[in-house]
Amino acid sequence: MIQTASKPQVGDDIASFRDNYLRAFRIMLLARAADDKFASLYRAGKIHGGVFLGRGQEAVSVSIGVALRKGDVFAPLIRDTAGRIAFNEPLLDMARTYLGSPLGPMRARDGNIHRGRPKDGQLPMISHLGAMIAVVNGILFARRLKGITNTVGVTCIGDGGTSTGAFHEALNQAAVEKLPLVLVIADNQYAYSTPTSRQFACKSLADRPAAYGVPVHVVDGTDLGACLKTLSKAVEQARAGHGPQVVVANLLRLCGHGEHDPANYIDEQLKNSPLGGDCIRLAEEKILQQHLANAGELMSWRNEAAQQIEEVVATVQREPAPDPFDEKWNALATEELVEGHETSD
């Protein structure tokens, strides 16, 4: 039941999906540029709340957005800037939510990675890990009741999140209902500071979904080509009606949990192992090696990405801050049920 992505064959592998590869790579550059910018704004004290980076996880994340179509559903987790951009989240949404603009989708009520547009299939995560899986199940379940088929839902979790009851309840629920769910586990070796040895005692995270009768696809999360292939296959399988699929991407978080975290607990040996490879640097090497682009093009793409992020941030920095006197302070959609609501009678 556990499937391992075949190693890309030198020569024809990248060329065979060259367009996707380069498109994904450029989104990864954009995600990295955004991460660098928000980290810098955080250090400058310009961000209210935390900043959570996806450094080292761009390859698996972007592969999700690339594999999905319009009309699909994506509930990203905290390190999915690349996947969000690939799934057409406007860059402005990211900047407005990080910088607290009332013009953003969360209207400054929620911040940083807690953003989305449910009607566009982009779900805003709550902080409780595993809780978004059942929500994606619900959307897929409702679509089936309505007779809508052919759409897929993807959501992400980390190694630590697989220890929650919510993860197990929801994965089992998806399996029982045979929903077209793809659950992507980024096994980045640490949940905040806790290593996987304190998180689970099974040999591999791939053992967990297998216990629910869910096929598992294991992939090297540092290898963009392998991630693109694996995600594309998992999404295809779900779309074809083969029920939920789990992807386990092995990689290392190349940053702290958030920008407040120096991450001095990360094992040096892991950093120097293949797991510690930077997926962007590895993809660049491959691009040069395969002559998909030259060093000058890489440089200009990088500059273009940084420029694009600078422009978006500058735009949002000119927007007004939220005004508590304009805020409705109303948690119900049904206004007449809000306590203290003035009625005409």
Say how far apart CA 79 and CA 76 lie, in whole Å. 8
Q: Minimal distance in Å, beta carbon 57 to other proteins?
A: 24
State the residues that interact with other proteins by CB under 8 A: 105-107, 109-110, 114, 116-119, 123-124, 126-128, 131-143, 145-146, 165-166, 169-170, 172-173, 176, 330-334, 336-339
- Candidates 108, 111, 76, 85; CA nearest to 26 is 85
CB of 193 to other proteins, least distance (A): 23
CB of 260 to other proteins, least distance (A): 23
Q: Which is nearer to other proteins, 177 or 319 (CB)?
A: 177
For the chain, give percent helix, strand, coil, nearest 5.
45, 10, 45
Residue 83 class from Cβ within 10 Å (0-12 exposed, 13-18 middle, 19+ buried)?
buried
Nearest distance in Å: CB 335, other proteins = 10
264 vs 343, beta carbon nearer other proteins: 343
For residue 229, is it left (φ>0), alpha (ψ between -120 and 50) or beta?
alpha
By beta-carbon proximity to other proteins, the closer residue of 114 and 178 is 114
Q: How far is the CB of 128 from other proteins (least distance, A)?
A: 5
Spatial CA neighbour of 191 closest among 129, 131, 248, 136 = 129
Neighbours of 310 (CB within 10 A): 12
Place of tokens 């690349």: 82
Distances (CA, A) of 81 to 32, 85, 156, 262: 8, 6, 12, 20
146 or 203, CB closer to other proteins?
146
Query: With respect to other proteins, which residue has the nearer C-beta, 65 or 130?
Result: 130
Residue 28 has which token pair?
Answer: 């990864």
Residue 17 vs 141, nearer CB to other proteins: 141
Separation of alpha carbons 51 and 35, rounded Å = 8
User: Least Å distance between CB 220 and other proteins?
Assistant: 31
Shortest gap between Cβ of 334 and other proteins (angstroms)? 5
**Least distance between other proteins and beta carbon 143 (Å):** 6
Integer Cα distance of 193 and 261 in angstroms: 9
Which tokens belong to 91?
A: 């860059």
Across the beta sheet with 216-220, the strand order is: 2-4, 216-220, 245-250, 181-187, 153-158, 73-75
Whether the Cβ atoms of residue 229 and residue 221 lie closer than 8 Å to each other: no
Task: Give the pairing type, strands 190-191 and 194-195.
Answer: antiparallel
Output 70 or 119, the one with its CB closest to other proteins.
119
Between residues 112 and 189, which has the closer beta carbon with respect to other proteins? 112
CB of 199 to other proteins, least distance (A): 19
How far is 9 from 244, CA to CA, in rounded Å? Answer: 28
Which of residues 29 and 181 has its CB atom nearest to other proteins in the complex?
181
